[in-house]
A and B are shown apart, each in its own frame.
Chain A
Amino acid sequence: MNIELTLNRDLTTVDVAPGETLLEMLRRLGFTSVKDGCAHGDCGTCAVLIDGRAATACLLFAAQADGREITTIEGLVDDGFGLAEAMLDVGAVQCGFCIPAMILTAADLLRRESAPTRAEIATYLAGNLCRCTGYVKQLDAVELAIARAEEVTSG
């Protein structure tokens, strides 16, 4: 069956199979930033923005994306907050498997909350597992991105 959705700002028609998840569909179409780490909604590596909100693509049928707006890392020229740069600058990227979803989720937070506390950032990223970093530098990175944005605003 065909669905129509806005995929990274382009209105797109996709032929999806019954039972196909949004994760499977996106990876089939070559959106490799969307990772399959568990397919159970536990690890968060498949998070994408659905109508601007971070959500795990493995728990949605592709058909449920009909009429919605889906954004992956590939669709962001930059994430709007310098999150990717900050992640690299502080050394928050190790294997990198969790990182695109982590950045998307943090971007979702920063769109609604310009100056979240470290605890608020942690709460928002609670669904994004990472086995490499211990999260310290990922929290540092989001804080750095916020600090840099404030510098730009105030400067």
Chain B
Amino acid sequence: MAEKFAVVGQSEIRVDGRALVGGQPVFVDDAATDAKTLHLALLWSPHAHARIRSIDTTAAADVPGVELILDHRNTPDKRYTTAGQGYPEPSPYDARMFDTKVRFVGDRVACVAADTVAVAQQAAELIEVEYEILDAVLTIDAAIAEGAPVIHDETDALDVWNQDRNVAAHMVGAAGDVAQGFAESDVVVEVTTETQYAQHAPLEPHAVYSYFDANGRLVIVSSTQVPFHVRRIVGRLLDLPVHSIRVIKPRIGGGFGVKQEVLIEDLAALVTVRTGRPAKLIYSREEEFISSRTRHPMRITTKLGAKADGTLHAIETTALSNTGAYGTHGLTVLSNVGSKTLPLYNKAPHVRFFGDAVYTNLPVGGAYRGYGATQSYFALETAVDRLAAELGIDAMEWRLRNHIREGETSPIFKALGEGREGVDQIITSCALEECIKRGAERIGWADKRGKRHRDGDWIHGVGMSIHMQGSGIPLVDMAAATLKMNDDGSFNLLVGATDLGTGSDTILGQIAAEVLGVPLDHIVVTSSDTDLTPFDTGAYASSTTYVSGMAVQLAAQDVMAQILEVAGAILNTPTDELTAEGGLITRADGETVTLSEVALRSLYAADQRQIAATRSFVPEVSPPPFMASFAEIAVDERTGQIRIVDYVVAVDCGTAINPNLAEGQVEGALVNGIGYALYEEIIFDDKGKPLTDDFARYKIPGVLDIPPIEVILVESYDPTGPMGAKSISEIGINGPIPTIANAVHDATGVWLTKTPFSAERVWRALREYQDRQPSVTPPVRP
């Protein structure tokens, strides 16, 4: 049952809000740049697959103002992964700072450090490179074809599944026997879907600034989601001890996973180490598109088998993921294709996931909000609609009968973890049924489903899908928090957790304030500085609210116990006879002491000590948030254009620590997902060069592109989370593709199987469908 809270559950204004609206210098690029700063420019590979025969930097080095040029000849040759993951990273070590081979258009060739950006760029253009151009692998099918060019033919790569066959990673997880399960099923459907390359497009591109502080320690200020992993990975790459490096994450302008990579910190750090001078590198928008990270395109087949009464009996998902030129996040994203989707329908005793992540000479896949689940829900949730149609059961009704519930489990939790075996867990909170019912009521499911109607050329339909994600990675993630008390009864909260715009500093402050019985402004939050704040694995896998939030709650409870002890001494009363509320500690007879009195005694008067605590939290489970997604759409029969008329999602995130910020996470994810469903796509020429390298050609949703959106937060209470909370940042992005596809089918009878659902693709699908059924015209609702 939900408890009553004072600060938690309130839409507090974000603690960094005033600095942000005022345009204060809080981002990496705003840091005052020392006059001696070197500016970095990169030379990128123009070829998808080539060996570097020679590099001549003579002309570049002669440009006045050039200080240093880095390439494969003068940089460490260790293999590593750019994935900002825990140690040891589950991703293969298949990258070098600079390699003798380039594997995609946009791969690093050289880096120039110069007095100005203009000089660095000019010099980079003067570097002469002789390439031996190799046959490029530009599709999943080409990658796995017999005799395909081997993309990673190096001998020193580690943990690649099968280098000779271009398979970076492989994952399998199963329970029961799916062959038997399908044989025993009365109805079997199978769907194959394909999703495209897309980019995160945070408005602040990757940015890093490094310098030696007065004591000769290397400071790296980075727009990163993973400051502690940056410290560890850069230290290993450059042979620097961790104690010589300080990583600071200031405010960052969005990440969505693309900043869970150590992409540029190594370059700035090495330039500073070699020259002693500060170094700065800010990606241009073009560089962000061409050479940062992307969403893994996938081909996924999901097969469902059900009994005649509708009960799901077997599920099998098979995935081929395109990890691009390097295997970063290849294995773990692949794992989540199965692990974040299959437990949703836990009634099936026979379940199997099987997947490969293959190398191609295309941009590198990475962590992207949704992390494989987004791609997988397209197949799963459109397969569910097809199955329900075959069974003659309403698609919502079928989901209500078959989805996982509180107190239940799925064998997949144990069978599939992130790149390894997972962890058994029982669902400790699930308001999915209420999410479905409230969403359905709001969209008008009963009145509109199966009753397509026409409005001129536009045919209307409704669709839905349901989803789960997770809250951190169980038995892998770790977060710590330190709280210390000040004279005036305020507290410093120090967390390694990384606020990338999500508002985690604020909600972590709210959790501390709640436990300590003070307003949020009595909690001074400092985050993401490897010198000042305790360890946290970072902002990914929907971990921060749940994992870091628990660390904060534990630290605050520990501090509260210390406060009661001191208050007990002042009031001469056993601590169990004291109550704490509203900044006061009260004895049964009404006698009180203030937090400030407690702090002053403790700091200056008697039994002197700093009231403080550091607590860590390692989650043993990953309670999923749940979501029901509904849309009414209209399809223009003449052009194939899809218009979203109305979009409603109902989300169960446990307690919403800050409802405005929680809604904002869902709204943002949803709109990002709508863009991915309808038009966002990196398009390549026939040599693998991306053509969509700016916002004019790579369309992200603008304010005029958004439909009416309503987010309903359906509260539940997860007893394993802080104040009952689960995480919410990713799940919203999974809805639009299957919801829109199912709505298009409701409107037109056409099953879409390939994203994005561009007007042209939908128009072709409509023509093909009508050619097959020339006599069928859609029934028209009056």
A residues contacting B by CB (< 8 A) are 27, 30-40, 42-43, 45, 72-74, 84, 87-100, 103, 122-123, 125-139
Number of residues in B with C-beta < 8 Å to the partner? 58
Interface residues of B in 498-533 (CB under 8 A from A): 500-503
B35 at interface, CB cutoff 8 A: no
- Contacts A98-B203, A128-B703, A133-B668 given: A36-B29 contact, CB under 8 Å? yes
- Contacts A32-B25, A73-B22 given: A132-B664 contact, CB under 8 Å? yes
Contacts of A138 in B (CB 8 A): 703
Query: In the bound complex, how far is the Cα of B503 from the Cα of A136, in angstroms?
Result: 17
Query: In the bound complex, how far is the Cα of B16 from the Cα of A95, in angstroms?
Result: 10
Contacts of A36 in B (CB 8 A): 29, 282
Shortest distance between the CB of A97 and any CB in chain B (Å): 3
User: Contact: B251 with A96, CB < 8 Å?
Assistant: yes
Q: Which residue of A lies closest to B284 (CB)?
A: A39
Shortest distance between the CB of A41 and any CB in chain B (Å): 9
Query: In the bound complex, how far is the Cα of B701 from the Cα of A71, in angstroms?
Result: 27
- Contacts A42-B695, A96-B20 given: A136-B13 contact, CB under 8 Å? no
B residues contacting A by CB (< 8 A) are 11, 13-14, 16-27, 29-30, 32, 200-205, 251-254, 256, 282, 284-285, 500-503, 658, 660-661, 663-664, 667-672, 694-696, 700-704, 706, 709, 711
Contacts of A31 in B (CB 8 A): 23
Q: DSSP majority for the A interface?
A: loop
Partner of B667, one of A73, A95, A129, A133: A133
Shortest distance between the CB of A141 and any CB in chain B (Å): 10
User: Contact: A37 with B23, CB < 8 Å?
Assistant: no
- Nearest first, the 9 A-B pairs at minimum CB distance are A33-B23, A95-B501, A96-B20, A91-B660, A97-B253, A134-B671, A42-B695, A134-B667, A100-B23
- Contacts A74-B23, A136-B706 given: A38-B667 contact, CB under 8 Å? no
Q: Which residue of A lies closest to B711 (CB)?
A: A136
Partner of A96, one of B253, B661, B667: B253
User: Contact: B23 with A72, CB < 8 Å?
Assistant: yes
Partner of B203, one of A37, A93, A126: A37
User: Contact: A97 with B21, CB < 8 Å?
Assistant: no
Query: In the bound complex, how far is the Cα of B203 from the Cα of A38, in angstroms?
Result: 8
- Contacts A32-B27, A38-B695, A94-B502 given: A136-B203 contact, CB under 8 Å? no
Shortest distance between the CB of B674 and any CB in chain A (Å): 9
Query: In the bound complex, how far is the Cα of B32 from the Cα of A32, in angstroms?
Result: 10
Partner of B254, one of A32, A93, A126, A132: A132
Contacts of B696 in A (CB 8 A): 40, 42
Partner of B21, one of A39, A43, A88: A88
The total number of A-B Cβ pairs within 8 Å is 171
User: Contact: B21 with A131, CB < 8 Å?
Assistant: no
User: Contact: B22 with A93, CB < 8 Å?
Assistant: no
Contacts of B204 in A (CB 8 A): 35, 37, 95, 97
Shortest distance between the CB of B266 and any CB in chain A (Å): 23
Contacts of A93 in B (CB 8 A): 14, 17, 20-21
Contacts of A125 in B (CB 8 A): 703
Contacts of A132 in B (CB 8 A): 254, 501, 664, 668
Query: In the bound complex, how far is the Cα of B706 from the Cα of A128, in angstroms?
Result: 13
Query: In the bound complex, how far is the Cα of B16 from the Cα of A139, in angstroms?
Result: 21
Query: In the bound complex, how far is the Cα of B253 from the Cα of A90, in angstroms?
Result: 19
Of A34, A37, A93, A100, chain B has the most CB atoms within 10 Å of the CB of A93
User: Contact: B203 with A139, CB < 8 Å?
Assistant: no
Query: In the bound complex, how far is the Cα of B253 from the Cα of A143, in angstroms?
Result: 25
Of A32, A88, A136, chain B has the most CB atoms within 10 Å of the CB of A136
Q: Which residue of A lies closest to B663 (CB)?
A: A91
Contacts of A30 in B (CB 8 A): 25, 32
Contacts of B16 in A (CB 8 A): 96
The 12 listed contacts between A and B (C-beta, < 8 Å) are: A30-B32, A35-B204, A37-B204, A42-B694, A43-B285, A87-B21, A129-B695, A131-B202, A134-B668, A134-B670, A134-B671, A134-B709
Shortest distance between the CB of A62 and any CB in chain B (Å): 15
Shortest distance between the CB of B37 and any CB in chain A (Å): 13
User: Contact: B254 with A94, CB < 8 Å?
Assistant: yes
User: Contact: B203 with A94, CB < 8 Å?
Assistant: no
- Contacts A91-B660, A94-B501, A131-B700 given: A137-B667 contact, CB under 8 Å? yes
Contacts of B200 in A (CB 8 A): 131
User: Contact: B25 with A84, CB < 8 Å?
Assistant: no
Query: In the bound complex, how far is the Cα of B46 from the Cα of A94, in angstroms?
Result: 36
Partner of A39, one of B24, B254, B285, B709: B285
Shortest distance between the CB of B527 and any CB in chain A (Å): 14
- Contacts A39-B285, A95-B254, A137-B664 given: A84-B694 contact, CB under 8 Å? no
Contacts of B695 in A (CB 8 A): 38, 40, 42-43, 129
Contacts of B17 in A (CB 8 A): 88, 93, 96
Shortest distance between the CB of B716 and any CB in chain A (Å): 21
User: Contact: A99 with B664, CB < 8 Å?
Assistant: no
Partner of A95, one of B201, B205, B500, B706: B500
Query: In the bound complex, how far is the Cα of B702 from the Cα of A139, in angstroms?
Result: 12
Contacts of B501 in A (CB 8 A): 94-97, 132
Shortest distance between the CB of B464 and any CB in chain A (Å): 19
User: Contact: B27 with A88, CB < 8 Å?
Assistant: no
User: Contact: B668 with A40, CB < 8 Å?
Assistant: no
- Contacts A35-B203, A95-B254 given: A88-B13 contact, CB under 8 Å? yes
User: Contact: A94 with B22, CB < 8 Å?
Assistant: no
Query: In the bound complex, how far is the Cα of B21 from the Cα of A103, in angstroms?
Result: 8
Partner of B702, one of A72, A96, A103, A126: A126
- Contacts A32-B30, A133-B668, A134-B667 given: A43-B25 contact, CB under 8 Å? no
Shortest distance between the CB of B357 and any CB in chain A (Å): 26
Query: In the bound complex, how far is the Cα of B512 from the Cα of A139, in angstroms?
Result: 31
Shortest distance between the CB of B468 and any CB in chain A (Å): 21
Query: In the bound complex, how far is the Cα of B201 from the Cα of A123, in angstroms?
Result: 22
User: Contact: B27 with A131, CB < 8 Å?
Assistant: no
Contacts of A42 in B (CB 8 A): 285, 694-696
User: Contact: A129 with B285, CB < 8 Å?
Assistant: no
User: Contact: B254 with A135, CB < 8 Å?
Assistant: no
Contacts of A139 in B (CB 8 A): 703
Contacts of A135 in B (CB 8 A): 667, 671, 701-703, 706
Q: Which residue of B lies closest to A45 (CB)?
A: B203
Query: In the bound complex, how far is the Cα of B14 from the Cα of A137, in angstroms?
Result: 14
User: Contact: B285 with A38, CB < 8 Å?
Assistant: yes
Q: Which residue of B lies closest to A121 (CB)?
A: B703
- Contacts A39-B284, A123-B704, A126-B704 given: A94-B672 contact, CB under 8 Å? no
Query: In the bound complex, how far is the Cα of B661 from the Cα of A96, in angstroms?
Result: 13
Of A37, A72, A92, A123, chain B has the most CB atoms within 10 Å of the CB of A37
Contacts of B672 in A (CB 8 A): 131, 134
Shortest distance between the CB of B44 and any CB in chain A (Å): 17
User: Contact: A40 with B694, CB < 8 Å?
Assistant: yes
Query: In the bound complex, how far is the Cα of B661 from the Cα of A34, in angstroms?
Result: 25
Contacts of B29 in A (CB 8 A): 27, 36
Contacts of B667 in A (CB 8 A): 133-137
Of A87, A93, A132, A135, chain B has the most CB atoms within 10 Å of the CB of A132
